[in-house]
Structure 1
Amino acid sequence: MTITSWLLDIPILPLAFEFASPGPIIFKLGPFTLRWYGVLIASAVLIGVALSGYLAKRRHLNPEIIADLAIWLVFAAIPSARLYYVLFEWQEYAQNPADIFAIWKGGIAIHGAILGGLIASLIFARVRQVPFWQLADIVAPSLILGQAIGRWGNFFNSEAFGAPTNLPLKLYIPPPQRPPEYANFEYFHPTFLYESVWNLMVFGILMFLFFRGLQGKPPLKVGTLFLTYLVFYSIGRFWIEGLRTDSLMLGPLRIAQVVSLVGIILGSAGLVWLYLFKRNLPDVVSANGNNLESDSENY
């Protein structure tokens, strides 16, 4: 018997690669219900605010402005994420309108959150007279880290999974959560895990660029971190979305893949604009003499 075949005969080995949600609820106390989904979203927000404040200080920017922006982002991103999802699943919610506000059951779209956050950030930057791209660069690492954390909410809700699979790494889905066409299958691609791991990799890239930029090797142009986030996150989301069984659709098109392609194109074009054409990104205010206490086109 070879070592490989011996290892494969160990009963506990396959179990190490199988995931099964313990359920969406942590505990209930009377009318109060604490759900994993809400805890993870709240944790992602708190960790993101703390990280963005730390990054702002490292770049000698005003952390109070970042804290103020965080409030805008929370109030804009979460409703936008829900609205985006509901609009593309309107046939279902039209029959159950009370579920539109039941966000604890899942059903938010990160692209909706990003869109709402971008609009809120642009308005915030204009009102407070601070450069949008500096804000975006500070928030980008926190955003992708929050996405990595938030994906585990899909795990506890047994949602956002992929097609059936027999690979060693697989996710058990309870019968009520399985699509009708896959009712006889037990195990599915854990796409929540794929994206969470991918997002952590992107987070590592952004943090590496951030600290390299602090050393000026090479100087990091304003907007680089957010554009890099946009490109790399979109690449991962595009291929992972192709595995999922519950994609938001517009006719034959998976909406997330279309949006991801747009993100790749826009992010790549922005980086070419910065580094090949050596031009600055258009902004709502000038980068000079701003309230972020930074007057440089580079970091």
Structure 2
Amino acid sequence: MLQYPKIDPVALQIGPIAVHWYGLTYLAAFGLFMLLAHWRLKHEPFASVQGAAAWTRRDIEDMLFLGVMGVIIGGRLGYVLFYKPGHYLQNPAEIFAIWKGGMSFHGGMLGVIASQYWFARSRGKPFLQVMDFVAPCIPTGLGAGRIGNFINGELWGRPADATLPWGMVFPQSGSLQPRHPSQIYQFLLEGIVLFVLLWLYARHPRKPAQVSAAFLVGYGIVRFIAEYFREPDAHLGLLALGMSMGQWLCVPMVVGGVGLWLWAERRGTPQATTGNGKTA
């Protein structure tokens, strides 16, 4: 049995300015996205697109900026609507109090989709191609966020058997019972495993939307599994069929991803570029 290490959430204090570890993990997530997106430019069909439709560094920067806005706005609204609609209906002003915490991955994902749709329309790029470009660059950022959760001692796991070698006591949970370090599980599943599988899958020519579909299915599955080890939200507990809210939100994600992949399989051919720089 391990004891959660008491980590100061403030990484650096300079006078009144405090730099938190959680903020640094977000910076790491953005940096990893920039690095991977530049490597992604070397993959097909993006490497062969020429002329006005060519992919550039400016495209990556704009996608990141819009994606960050989508994560913040969508993540907050998702938490409000999925997890505490009654509370925020009675206290609407608290919707904007994001410093008090409360973000939803599934809401953030919808926000990112909306932001990238805006990007695709404004740049005249195929929306599905934009999403296929972005998808493999996301898991490492998710993994960085889980490290931030662990440093903050939040989103701890469900009670574990006392014989589990890596069972960990989280004093923040209000008990001395060993628990699963679910933040680390999610870091490994969402951040490492999903990234490796999706990156390798995206390296080969795929039909439009299939890389995006693989992300939906892959994340939905690994998150569904991880939720069995993560303590459900105290105000919600377990819902129908003994599943958490996170698991229920993953169900349409996986079903939608499978449907999208099958639709793409019947619809088109692997992404390629024609001589005029347009995808075919």
The normalised TM-score by structure 1 is 0.76
- Secondary structure of the corresponding residue to residue 249 of structure 2: helix
2 CA distance for matches of 1:228 and 1:274?
Answer: 11
Q: Name 2:60's counterpart in structure 1.
A: 66
Counterpart check, 1:204 vs 2:204:
no
Q: Name 1:245's counterpart in structure 2.
A: 231
Aligned counterpart in structure 1 of residue 206 of structure 2, from 217, 220, 223:
220
Counterpart check, 1:80 vs 2:71:
no
2 CA distance for matches of 1:194 and 1:204?
Answer: 16
Aligned counterpart in structure 2 of residue 31 of structure 1, from 3, 9, 16:
16
1:134-183 CA distances to partner (integer Å, 9 max, x unpaired)? Answer: 11111111111110111111101111111111211223312xx21xxxx3
Matched letter for residue 70 of structure 1: L
Q: 1:20 touches 1:172 (CA, 8 Å); kept in 2? A: no
Q: 1:138-287 to 2 correspondence within 5 Å?
A: 138-165=133-160, 166=162, 167-174=164-171, 177-178=172-173, 183-199=174-190, 200-211=192-203, 213=204, 219-247=205-233, 249=236, 252=239, 254-275=244-265, 278-280=266-268
1 CA distance for matches of 2:118 and 2:92?
Answer: 34
1 CA distance for matches of 2:257 and 2:278?
Answer: 24
Structure 1, unaligned stretches of length 5 or more?
Answer: 1-13, 214-218, 282-286
Counterpart check, 1:101 vs 2:97:
yes
2 CA distance for matches of 1:96 and 1:205?
Answer: 41
- Secondary structure of the corresponding residue to residue 20 of structure 1: coil
- How far the C-alpha of 1:27 sits from its partner, in A, is 2.7
Relative distance call for 1:90 and 1:262 in structure 2 (3 A) is: closer
Aligned counterpart in structure 1 of residue 108 of structure 2, from 110, 113, 121:
113
Moved over 6 A (4+): 91-96
1 CA distance for matches of 2:14 and 2:80?
Answer: 30
Matched letter for residue 198 of structure 2: L
Greater Cα offset, 112-121 or 125-134: 125-134
- How far the C-alpha of 1:96 sits from its partner, in A, is 11
Matched letter for residue 157 of structure 1: N
Matched letter for residue 119 of structure 1: A
Q: Name 2:50's counterpart in structure 1.
A: none
2 CA distance for matches of 1:125 and 1:260?
Answer: 26
Q: Name 2:278's counterpart in structure 1.
A: 295
2 CA distance for matches of 1:34 and 1:171?
Answer: 27
Q: 1:77 touches 1:113 (CA, 8 Å); kept in 2? A: yes
The normalised TM-score by structure 2 is 0.81
Relative distance call for 1:30 and 1:252 in structure 2 (3 A) is: same
- How far the C-alpha of 1:35 sits from its partner, in A, is 0.7
2 CA distance for matches of 1:135 and 1:294?
Answer: 15
Matched letter for residue 250 of structure 2: S
Q: 2:7 touches 2:152 (CA, 8 Å); kept in 1? A: no
1 CA distance for matches of 2:245 and 2:268?
Answer: 31
- Secondary structure of the corresponding residue to residue 155 of structure 2: coil
Matched letter for residue 39 of structure 2: Y
2 CA distance for matches of 1:261 and 1:99?
Answer: 26
1 CA distance for matches of 2:133 and 2:71?
Answer: 17
- How far the C-alpha of 1:91 sits from its partner, in A, is 6.2
Matched letter for residue 189 of structure 2: W
2 CA distance for matches of 1:95 and 1:210?
Answer: 44
- How far the C-alpha of 1:83 sits from its partner, in A, is 2.9
Q: 2:156 touches 2:181 (CA, 8 Å); kept in 1? A: yes
Q: Name 2:125's counterpart in structure 1.
A: 130
Greater Cα offset, 29-38 or 228-237: 29-38
- Secondary structure of the corresponding residue to residue 149 of structure 1: helix
Q: Which protein is bigger by CA-based radius of gyration? A: 1
1:249-275 CA distances to partner (integer Å, 9 max, x unpaired)? Answer: 499353321221101101111112223
Q: 1:82 touches 1:107 (CA, 8 Å); kept in 2? A: yes
Relative distance call for 1:29 and 1:148 in structure 2 (3 A) is: same
- How far the C-alpha of 1:206 sits from its partner, in A, is 1.3
- Secondary structure of the corresponding residue to residue 65 of structure 1: helix
